[in-house]
């Protein structure tokens, strides 16, 4: 247990782990939905501290990773236009499109800017009335309310040169897709805490009941994860399948009502393609009819871009928890953070990047020579 000293409260971590070890009597497979949680788990070696019988399967909750290739290509085409200022969060810069990324577009003269908040992009639009300002609106239920508010403000203050390239995704339909997949091994979910800070827990009891899986809302720090895992294993051992909140300091049952109301106004539910996985019904949001004028796809006529994923990249299987990153042949050889084949190797929340960063010496000793330090 070499990592346990790094825990904020090693004594509490030890007690939680002891409880998990004492409770688990049979093999269980838990999926952590969120990429932020995957990052913490791998960084702190939490999976290695658990009993051998408790397996963590890494889920599809990395927003950068699941943004489909065709949306990336649309972003690249728009960003390369001379009349456009293209604004994005920093983690999208190196996500590979079909033949380049945003970082490359910028080096070729595109005006690509990184913002901390979508409201910063709106400010840029106000300051540059003669340019088109596009914000790359990706993310789960946590990120959708900020983007919704920004479009709401653009409409309210009549800022015609602002638009949003939207690729928002929702967690509950992804859980449904995972549970109905024939190869599914998942027996319980650690639900993403900050998604629930916004959405609350209303959407989960029906899923827990239908698929007979415990769903435990879990935070992002090492101790939060241990507590979420502990509560999940307890339910599994008792044959229970309820929705439980192990992150009450940030999650209220009803979520954030103001944010939910804004989501209902600005967005409408739509089918959405997930990179490497395919289309999941009702799994995303697009702008609702009254905000359609602010949709960058329509404004720049990029609706018809079609793409194909590189065959060597198995990120779709990684995102569905069917393989671990190091079981992909490209991992650490042809695919590294410097030369990523798929988005899971780019984002700090991507499972492949987390394994590369913290595990490659352990999981791929034979490939070290072919994998120089990035």
Q: Name which position in 94, 241, 272, 286 contacts another protein (CB under 8 A).
A: 94
Kindly write out the interface string for residues 280-319 of this chain, putting x where it contacts another protein by CB under 8 A and - elsewhere: ----------------------------------------
State the nearest-atom distance from the C-beta of 365 to another protein, in Å.
14
Q: Name which position in 45, 110, 118, 228 contacts another protein (CB under 8 A).
A: 118
Query: ∠ at Cα 84 (78, 86), nearest 5°?
Result: 70
Q: Name which position in 45, 60, 63, 96 contacts another protein (CB under 8 A).
A: 63
Kindly write out the interface string for residues 135-154 of this chain, putting x where it contacts another protein by CB under 8 A and - elsewhere: ----xx-xx-xx--x---x-
Q: Count other Cβ atoms within 10 Å, centred on residue 308.
A: 8
Q: Name which position in 221, 268, 293, 309 contacts another protein (CB under 8 A).
A: 221
User: Rounded CA gap, 69 and 40, in Å?
Assistant: 26
Q: Count other Cβ atoms within 10 Å, centred on residue 335.
A: 25
The reply on whether position 167 binds another protein by CB under 8 A is no
Residues 6+ apart with CB under 8 A from 364: 326, 331, 332, 371
- Tokens (6 digits) for 213: 């899986």
Taking the least distance from each CB to another protein, the nearer of 202 and 305 is: 202
The reply on whether position 213 binds another protein by CB under 8 A is no
Number of chain residues interacting with another protein (CB under 8 A): 54
User: For the chain, give me the number of helices (H) and strands (E)?
Assistant: 17, 11
The reply on whether position 226 binds another protein by CB under 8 A is no
According to the 3-state scheme, what is the secondary structure of 190-239? EEEHHHHHHHCCCCHHHHHHHHCCCEEEECCCHHHHHHHHHHHHHHHHHC
User: Rounded CA gap, 143 and 167, in Å?
Assistant: 11
State the nearest-atom distance from the C-beta of 256 to another protein, in Å.
5
In 88-159, alpha helices (H): 102-107, 118-127, 144-156
Strand partners, 295: 164
Taking the least distance from each CB to another protein, the nearer of 290 and 338 is: 338
Contact residues for another protein, defined by CB under 8 A: 8, 34-36, 43, 61-64, 89-91, 93-94, 103, 114, 116-120, 139-140, 142-143, 145-146, 149, 153, 156-157, 194, 197-198, 220-221, 249-252, 256, 258-259, 262, 337-338, 346-349, 357, 361, 373-374
């Amino acid at each position: 247990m070499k990592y346990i000293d790094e825990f904020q409260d090693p004594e509490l971590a030890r007690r939680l782990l002891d409880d998990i070890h004492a409770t688990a009597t049979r093999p269980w497979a838990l999926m952590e939905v969120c990429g932020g949680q995957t990052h913490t788990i791998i960084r702190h070696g939490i999976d290695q501290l658990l009993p051998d019988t408790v397996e963590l399967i890494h889920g599809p909750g990395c927003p950068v990773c699941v943004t489909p290739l065709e949306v990336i290509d649309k972003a690249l085409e728009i960003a390369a236009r001379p009349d456009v200022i293209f604004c994005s969060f920093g983690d999208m810069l190196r996500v590979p499109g079909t033949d380049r990324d945003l970082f490359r577009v910028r080096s070729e003269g595109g005006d690509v800017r990184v913002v901390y908040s979508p409201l910063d992009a709106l400010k840029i639009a106000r300051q540059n009335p003669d340019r088109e300002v596009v914000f790359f609106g990706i993310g789960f239920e946590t990120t959708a309310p900020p983007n919704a508010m920004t479009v709401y403000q653009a409409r309210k203050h009549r800022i015609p040169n602002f638009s949003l390239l939207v690729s928002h995704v929702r967690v509950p339909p992804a859980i449904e897709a995972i549970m109905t997949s024939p190869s599914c091994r998942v027996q319980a979910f650690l639900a993403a805490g900050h998604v629930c800070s916004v959405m609350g827990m209303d959407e989960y009891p029906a899923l827990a009941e239908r698929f007979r899986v415990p769903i435990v809302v879990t935070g992002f720090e090492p101790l939060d994860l241990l507590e979420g895992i502990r509560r999940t294993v307890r339910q599994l051992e008792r044959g229970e399948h309820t929705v439980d909140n192990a992150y009450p300091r940030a999650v209220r049952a009803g979520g954030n009502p103001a944010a939910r109301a804004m989501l209902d106004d600005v967005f409408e539910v739509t089918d959405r393609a997930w990179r490497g996985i395919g289309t999941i019904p009702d799994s995303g949001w697009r702008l609702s009819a009254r905000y359609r004028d602010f949709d960058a796809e329509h404004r720049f006529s990029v609706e018809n871009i079609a793409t194909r994923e590189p065959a060597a990249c198995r990120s779709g299987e990684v995102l569905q928890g069917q393989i671990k990153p190091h079981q992909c042949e490209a991992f650490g050889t042809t695919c590294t953070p410097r030369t990523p084949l798929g988005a899971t190797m780019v984002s700090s929340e991507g499972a492949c990047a987390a394994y590369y960063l913290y595990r490659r010496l352990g999981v791929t000793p034979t490939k070290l020579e072919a994998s120089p330090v990035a």
